[in-house]
Structure 1
């Protein structure tokens, strides 16, 4: 048994070396983050099937008398001979990483190969290997989280690996010609070493994922810095001067080999590798940029051929092209290049996606500022344009604090902050928006606030009408923000806000109710009509909202207030309108 243990330890070492090499392959790293797609599953099956077959080929031959017969490559064995190998280790990890489908298929492939090695007397390895792969995959399902990759911990892997190998021992016991005698000889070393091998394999993957998380945390911090430094230039619009400054800033804060910004037809700036032929004011020279503009979707290339540069000596070997759009209209692109394709990982792709969203918002801000000077309804627009600077700084501080604790949550909050400000900018340019756009604005605001104050508020939506109906921007958001800021002073729990939107005849009823402390009668009749000072504000937001509603729809749409010690209800009725198709 000792000799078998030592030989098995060698085989486990081979698999672990392969695992270490595997996590350093870009293709496998990408599959870890896109494992739910069918193509990714097929590729994972191919990778782990190779692992399982290698485990069979490097197995240790055992005679019916339990004598060990060692060979370099075990292509076939006589009838009634057995093999001690690490096949179950490969199948178990396949299920843990890829799920039941991947684990089951890899198990079938590994079982069939094991039968081919020996004879049909080993038929039971096919169903046993498939069952083990599926069961390991079910453990995978219980370990996934929305929008986040979570692989089973190495300590959990020991338990799963041990259980899977015990299942294999049960099949051998009942179906092998030398069942009990063989199990006595191989059970302890195979169960122990395969469990340890699963632990080490998952430790290597976990180490890689931890490195990815650290990289994301650092990049999220850099995104905040970039957003702050590029804002003044993007507000000036997309031109050669502003684009050059922005490209230099991005290049300084990232590890990309080159940064380029374009309009829809020409290069505005290019900093880094390839600047000898990617020249500002010249026409775009890559097919990839044209495809991104035409589709208004991010395009990713991992080779020079995919980039499609017209210069045969171009050093750029990988690229991410992000369309920059304002109101769903592409106005240009942000392009990030590497001279070595292996450097382009999912972390860089997610960074680029976040930057594209933020820069599009900044361009929208610049466009909004220009348009705000030209609109005729200047009074309404100026009311809509007010943004609470305290909310912005609180949100930035929240995201900064979250970066080291949960980089994925920080990234989500950053995107929600972008959504919030894009909605504010939309309000500057439009008198009415759809209910779905307003709800998206409110959701972004609530995500940021509830992250600052977890479990403090419970918000319920009751939408009983078409999401394409139209209303003034900020209508619901201002009422919800007012409730959160003023209704629950001194209360940390049990704070409920009910948002109701319903069609009543030819009018849209919008109501926000809370179970807060209520409003003093001396202030209630003044709300919405004038500034009403309190320890948390001046009441300007309600006054502005009321002015916008009555300015657009007339006095019948003025805010209605009801309040007592059980809470406050604010209601408005506006004409029922739908967005034209």
Structure 2
């Protein structure tokens, strides 16, 4: 009997190591219940087939598979153990159905002539009784102790003994021989069976809790660095933190072109600043899918003495674009298990979220900078007093023009306040702001500037606030220094397939090549400003849309052209997107 129960326990140990079975334990659906019935019915049938056959004198007979049992013979088996565990795990419905199948099979073993019919109701009753324990969540298998499982198994076997005593032809004679070994060993088997499952689940939960704690710690410690963007300096700090909290032999972070940081094994040739050293990384940046390598050849490092033999490479994405990779290596391939792969994938998702969060904060900062500049322009002594003085002077001899300028001044300030609050405004609102600015400037310097608008799109198309104003203002301030006439600025807005093309060109003196290379990439100090507005606009365009929206500058002796191309989106399309 101990051998038979031991066989069942071994099967239980093998079963609990199958992830699919562990999922069935907690998925309470009709499909999962049916699958549990099939699994435990198979267990019960196996225990019937491998039972111990006793003749009428309770002497052990045939020890092979019991496909047929003589009508006067009895069988000692672990069927009740299987039915009990099925009820505890699956509930009354699963337990009773397994009991019905197991009891019916036991009856069929002896043929319908054998008086073994009582095994059917006894097995069904045991399945229901053990299943009712599942209904009480405080004593369900997930929290059931070994001692509770022992007494449950003991109780169910006693129920079976009562049925044998009442309905078996050999009644007391059989119970006297089998009661003690069956109840004790089956109870122990039930206890061990449930303990194996609960222990494995608890270990799995503890492992997940430990991993979760490590991941949360990693997320907390790396977030400040991701806020600064995916740069070489931030990546250096991040890989140190990951290496400290994991057991990988090497950690790398890259962008799409170069290694930003590498720590651990192979540091002698996986060097920050160099182009991507492995074919695996290039594959991930191209496909955007997680790649796992379990051989040095699969990693694809060209260095002949590279010790890395296993890797998991996770893409890092932001705004639906792959911006880099997280690479985690082992020098022994056997150490890369599904647990480490899941950990790497989880970290990749968290880091991608942190990158997006960092970029969102960066955009918020840029928007605040734009707001600050807008507010500064409103109280700028030069601009404000020049406008007021111009209006004051005009009011003496041209009241109507002075009134119009006051209206334009109000329009300009109102547009600035609107732009400071929104990330996108209509092209019509942006042009009105530009025209208000121009009318105020041209009142001070009549006929000095000529600004032409060539708008070939619907004015409800959306653009970032200050996008055209900054470019026009930049052309007026820096393009015509020392010239009092013949200064022309042209604003061209067209649609190019699914993008909106904006060009602001002038016929000014051009931009020095040294300055042109820095425009939009950094703040430039000059005698007439520091280039903050131009820099902020460029950064906002990239952050709001994509790299293709970056400002493009072409300049020469014949003038300067500044262009950008952003996704084409109308106000109506934006409203529909928000509604969805």
State TM-score, norm by structure 1: 0.49
| Structure with higher RCO (Cα < 8 A, 6+ apart) | 1
Q: Greater CA radius of gyration, 1 or 2? A: 2
TM value normalised by structure 2: 0.49
